[in-house]
Amino acid sequence: MNSSSILLCFVFAAIGYVLHPMLLPGLLDSKLVAESSLSDGYKEEQAKKTGKDLPESEDDTEQDTAKENVAPEPIKPEVVETPTPVPPAIVVPTPTPDPVTTPAPVEAVVKLSEQALINILKASVKAGDVNEFEFNQVLEWKLAGDEGTHQVGMVTYQADTIFDEQKLEAKALIKDGKVVKWLWPTTNTKMR
């Protein structure tokens, strides 16, 4: 150990000696130091400085409460019940009749004309079925084809975004003469 290390040890010891009495009450208040870890001499000094009686140690209060509770609680044995085994259910297969080839019922898909579809889109936007844009923002209405049993309508609208004004699109799925869903066309997620 060289002389600079010894000098540092003395410096830190002196700092600790000076700062310890100033920091200890704060550490006790914040519960970082337990009061039971303090020496009896320190407790007596603090009692003299503050003029208060020495608090009873935690050991004394534990002994007093232990004396009051002389009768210990009876220990209850833990009883574990084993479930009675249930026999496995016997499944008897029911005979299936020979499959008869019946044609599946054909849904009557009503195809709307482009103008009828556009009228349905306009009514849906006016009714407030979609909150992303308003009727007066729409630039173009058009029929975009079919998706399964739905007809698809596309709407192009002008919107103010964080990137300035942009033309955006909305996709509507139409079935039975009603708009079922408004979707973002690129992700097919539902619009608000």
pLDDT tens profile 25-46: 777 777 776 777 777 777 787 7
Question: DSSP labels for 66-127?
Answer: HHH--SPPPPPPP--PPPPPPPPPPPPPPPPPPPP--PPPPP-PPPPPHHHHHHHHHHHHHH
| Cβ–Cβ under 8 Å, residues 175 and 167 | no
pTM: 0.45
- Cα separation, 141 vs 119, in Å, equals 9
> Is pLDDT at 4 greater than 60 in this prediction?
yes
Indicate the average pLDDT of the chain.
Answer: 79
- Cα separation, 151 vs 174, in Å, equals 5
Max CA pair span of the chain: 103
